[in-house]
Amino acid sequence: MDIIAEVRRRHFVSGENISAISRSLNISRPTVRKHLEAKEIPVYQREIQPEHCYFYHIGGV
């Protein structure tokens, strides 16, 4: 998530071009464009993990 904010700040605030951003952050130009065109920053939400089966923790039968 920090990379998206950095890409947007460098382009919109500092005026850095897409090629320079991609070189300095070591990401592809299409990725930089994708981050610039995004209307909102994606939010990561972890799904609830399924409960582990006790059978596998004791080595099985």
- Render pLDDT for 11-37 as a digit per residue (tens, 0 to 9): 999 999 999 999 999 999 999 999 999
For 27, the domain range is: 2-51
As a whole number, mean pLDDT of residues 32-61 equals: 75
Q: How many CB atoms lie within 10 A of CB 18?
A: 17
In a domain, 57, yes or no: no
Give every CB contact of residue 15 below 8 A, 6+ residues apart in sequence. Answer: none
Whether this model's pTM surpasses 0.75: no
**Count of the separate structural domains present in the chain:** 1
Q: Which two tokens stand for residue 20?
A: 């320079």
Helices of type H across the chain: 2-8, 18-25, 29-37, 54-57
- Find the helix or strand (DSSP H, E) in which 13 lies: none
